[in-house]
Structure 1
Amino acid sequence: MSSKPMVAIVDDEADMRGSIAQWLNLSGFETVTFDSAEAALRDVRADFPGVVISDIRMPGIDGMAFLKRLQSVDPSLPVIMITGHGDVSLAVEAMRIGAYDFIEKPFDPERLADMTRRAATTRRLTLDNRRLRREMSDGTMLLRKLVGSSAVIERLRETILDVAQADGHVMITGETGTGKSLIAHALHACGPRKGKPYVYVNCAALNAEDMEKSLFGPIEEPERRPAVEASDGGTLALENIEALPLALQARLVTELRHGEGGDTETAPRNLHIISISSSISSGDTPPEGMSEGLFFRLSALHLSTPPLRDRGEDILLLFNRFCAQFAEDYGCEPPEVSAEDAARLIQAPWPGNIRQLMNVAERAVLHKRRGEEGLAPLLDDGEMRPSAPQIMVEKPLREHVEAFEKMLIDNALRRNRGAVSAVMEELALPRRTLNEKMAKYGLVRGEYL
């Protein structure tokens, strides 16, 4: 699939269609042309990944009627209208209906390209936000974000599905940077409250007075509701729960007791709380400063996230993915990872976990862009050097070899967009051997297309 912005050009005049398409192609766009609105409507659907440019005056369905039809298909689709001399009033009406902009004939092609470029950026952001909203409400999509095939990550996915169905309060603990917030959202999206409100609050982000307002109200902005009220029937995720002041802990316990059938004059709330902490070591003992009443209510179900150093070959897979993403962002090739680099990545203790791995991947891409090779300088920190006995005991040679082999195949599949014949040629592997290794490492061709 092309990474160029897509533009649909709709005009009944062949010369005009051709000249606009030619100029936009030279300006870095991918174009598709239609000689009528009827033809365009068969192809331009909701989530069309680009911009529509349409003449206002066309036989059959004219530009104004076409714009209204597109608005009914996808109100956020940017439509640029081309108007003739004297059609300014129509153009103003088109803007009122929802057109992105208009340009009057005869026009400067560069001005049209600039206008289209801005519209394409707007469209990309709209689709990105739309996709993100879908993903954050889809438990399956969220679980796929937990990249990896190590035993610990497979167990984690299974645990998430089990705990989500229980619908009790959950406490998630683990080191900083292990994906606890993502897991909290996955628990909500995989459980019976999917589609209901998911409200996130960082208990360490505000002072006591502002935190009380954020959780319980009153809130001055009329469009906002306190988190406890807004999450009624859905899920309330509380990050850094141990930082919640004792007075607010007591108030939260009252809300929970109310929901459990305690005496009250008001209707009980249906609260489901997922608490998140990097400081709490287990679900058995409350940390200093946290009341037992709140702790044991919130830790009815406990889930612990594994540190990156325990995830073996997943480290290389994640590093690969991060490098590919940053290379695309910076417009350069991702760095080549040697066998020595791969071993160092697996052996490193990663005290900052996934966030630290992302930082190293970004720096590696920037080094590659400057022409520097090798990861040794990036992993030469004192805190990143494991002891030799640990390496020999915890990371046998076979694991290094298999992880490196999986990384090479993953890289080749990604570079060649899942084209198996190209991967066979690049790695000098017969088809049967490649298929066997892909099956062994859980690499699915469809994910690279």
Structure 2
Amino acid sequence: MNTAPKVLLVDDEEQVLKANSQWLELSGFSVICCNTAHEAINQLQQGFMGVVISDVKMPGMDGLTLLEQAKQLNGNLPIILITGHGDVSMAVEALQKGAYDFIEKPFDPDRLKERIQRAHEQLELKIKNQQLRQQLAEQSGISAKLLGESKAIQLVREEILSLANFNTPVLIHGETGCGKELVAQCLHEYSQRANKPFVALNCGAIPEALFESELFGHEAGAFSGAQKQRKGKLEHADGGVVFLDEVESMPSHLQVKLLRALQSGEIERLGSNRIINLDIRVISATKVSLKDAGEFRQDLYYRLNVSEINLSPLRERQTDIPLLFTHFADLAAEQYQRPVKTLAPSDIDLLMAYAWPGNIRELRNIATRYILARDKSIIDLIDADNSKEIEEADRILESVLSLSQKLNQYERQLLHKALEKYQGNISQVMAELDLPRRTLNQKMQKYGLNRLDYLEK
């Protein structure tokens, strides 16, 4: 942890309060002491963010009332209640009202320390996920379309807004899955042509025999199978934008025709001698260097590359990954009517360490599968074909994760495998792991594990 976990300690007995405070501070916690529940409420109203530990039996406002009021002020705060007069019914009532845990005096100090650490980790998890969703909610305009706060994506947004209202051709460079078409759509949407057509053509997906007809159109009878007249993509985009994706795949003999059409602003449909005047803006995208591509015409390259936008691969935008993943996961949860899932800190670390060879397209796929999968972790969902990238991610994680984070990863894996082995049978899992029911429930809640997901289908 970068900062000492904060603890709000509440007890009406001065000596007990002082002794527990000193021990917690020696254990690495930052402690605020309160003699009464009213003092604690005042601290909470001032924005305290940490773990609350309170005695139950106190004059004036007792610990259970403090619990209720604290939850009203901030439902995220983990609250641990301590009492020497507790019984089963009181413990049940406290947990029903939202207490994180309930400990009876005398208690093992190391046990309390472990509970505080776990409660703080849970709080950090909730805060991190809330911050991600708040960040998503605050996005507007082009920032809501091209998500991210990295310098790389900020520069792309600035370039789009700068180039949008010029009619010059734009060439977008980027690896597969980086979002080149989305950038092209933004260039169109923020331009004066926004109410005109945006026509996308994937040059790598069209058979060469059909390419000319797809681009320029044809008249009825122009070739075998041409039973009626058809407008081509360029004509259909008149007044608006044509987006040529994977333009490096365009057949060489059609590059000449496209160049002529762009220079003259005129086309002819196949099987026709009639000149059709066009007003189009061409936006192209490529995953290779057109200038160095041997089969791509240099004169067409210079025609298409009047302005250019370079998209960074996702591995160079690591800080944007949690926000993008949360966005896609929430979209999937809404689309498939599945519960929204929160990301554990170890999940976020793994997402940021992974190389994402498929870029944003792969990220969206994993986010969707994460929502749909019942018993798969993030690492389980990353394609096994990417074993080298996974090994590299594991190597990076080994260097950045704290001991507690590594232990959490291992503990979650043990729980997952036991639940899977016994198909959600809690009694057998308790016996396998030698855990009491309450501790097992707490650990499953911490790691987002639901026994229903493991039941035999």
Give the TM-score normalised by the residue count of structure 1.
0.50
Tell me, yes or no, if the aligned pair for 2:244 and 2:285 is still in contact at 8 Å: yes
Candidates 234, 248, 252, aligned match of 1:246 = 252
- SS of the equivalent of 1:149 reads coil
CA pair 396-277 structure 1, distance change in 2 beyond 3 A: farther
- SS of the equivalent of 2:171 reads strand
Q: Distance in 2 between matches of 1:297 and 1:154?
A: 27
CA pair 224-388 structure 1, distance change in 2 beyond 3 A: closer
Candidates 373, 390, 394, aligned match of 1:385 = 390
Instruction: String of CA shifts for 1:83-104, please: whole Å, max 9, x gaps.
Output: xxxxxxxxxxxxxxxxxxxxxx
Partner of 1:259: 265
Partner of 1:209: 209
1:376 and 2:379 matched: yes
Tell me, yes or no, if the aligned pair for 1:169 and 1:273 is still in contact at 8 Å: yes
Q: Distance in 1 between matches of 2:310 and 2:229?
A: 36
Tell me, yes or no, if the aligned pair for 1:349 and 1:386 is still in contact at 8 Å: no
Tell me, yes or no, if the aligned pair for 2:164 and 2:188 is still in contact at 8 Å: yes
1:183 and 2:189 matched: no
Q: Residue type of the partner of 2:213?
A: K
- SS of the equivalent of 2:338 reads coil
Instruction: String of CA shifts for 1:239-296, please: whole Å, max 9, x gaps.
Output: 1111111111101111122139xxx995753332111112x23x6x241211111111
1:274 and 2:283 matched: yes
CA pair 293-341 structure 1, distance change in 2 beyond 3 A: same
Aligned alpha-carbon RMSD (Å): 3.2
Instruction: Answer with 1 or 2: which has the greater Rg.
Output: 2
Tell me, yes or no, if the aligned pair for 2:239 and 2:280 is still in contact at 8 Å: yes
Q: Residue type of the partner of 1:383?
A: K
Tell me, yes or no, if the aligned pair for 2:219 and 2:229 is still in contact at 8 Å: no
- SS of the equivalent of 2:284 reads strand
1:348 and 2:357 matched: no
CA pair 151-245 structure 1, distance change in 2 beyond 3 A: same
1:163 and 2:163 matched: yes
1:309 and 2:309 matched: no
Q: Distance in 2 between matches of 1:230 and 1:324?
A: 35
Superposition pairs for residues 295-444 of structure 1, below 5 Å?
A: 295-367=301-373, 370=374, 372=375, 374-379=377-382, 381-385=386-390, 387=392, 391=396
Instruction: String of CA shifts for 1:51-73, please: whole Å, max 9, x gaps.
Output: xxxxxxxxxxxxxxxxxxxxxxx
CA pair 303-390 structure 1, distance change in 2 beyond 3 A: farther
Q: Distance in 1 between matches of 2:170 and 2:311?
A: 13
Q: Unaligned regions of 5+ residues in structure 2, if any? A: 1-139, 221-226, 267-272, 406-457
Q: Distance in 2 between matches of 1:251 and 1:330?
A: 46
Q: Distance in 2 between matches of 1:374 and 1:205?
A: 34
CA pair 252-266 structure 1, distance change in 2 beyond 3 A: same
Q: Distance in 1 between matches of 2:328 and 2:371?
A: 9
- SS of the equivalent of 2:201 reads strand
Give the TM-score normalised by the residue count of structure 2.
0.49
Q: Distance in 1 between matches of 2:154 and 2:252?
A: 37
- SS of the equivalent of 1:334 reads coil
Instruction: String of CA shifts for 1:405-445, please: whole Å, max 9, x gaps.
Output: xxxxxxxxxxxxxxxxxxxxxxxxxxxxxxxxxxxxxxxxx
Q: Distance in 2 between matches of 1:148 and 1:271?
A: 31
- SS of the equivalent of 1:171 reads strand
CA pair 330-387 structure 1, distance change in 2 beyond 3 A: same
Partner of 2:144: 144
Q: Give 1:150 deviation, angstroms.
A: 1.7
Instruction: String of CA shifts for 1:185-223, please: whole Å, max 9, x gaps.
Output: 111121232212222111122222311111112154768
CA pair 344-233 structure 1, distance change in 2 beyond 3 A: same
Q: Give 1:152 deviation, angstroms.
A: 1.3
Q: Give 1:388 deviation, angstroms.
A: 7.5
Q: Give 1:164 deviation, angstroms.
A: 1.6
Tell me, yes or no, if the aligned pair for 1:238 and 1:273 is still in contact at 8 Å: yes
Superposition pairs for residues 3-152 of structure 1, below 5 Å?
A: 144-152=144-152
Q: Residue type of the partner of 1:276?
A: A
Partner of 2:234: 228
How many residues are aligned here? 250
- SS of the equivalent of 2:242 reads strand
Partner of 2:430: none
CA pair 314-223 structure 1, distance change in 2 beyond 3 A: farther
- SS of the equivalent of 1:201 reads strand
Q: Unaligned regions of 5+ residues in structure 1, if any? A: 1-139, 401-449
Partner of 1:34: none
Instruction: String of CA shifts for 1:297-356, please: whole Å, max 9, x gaps.
Output: 001111111111122221111111121222233333233321111101111110001111
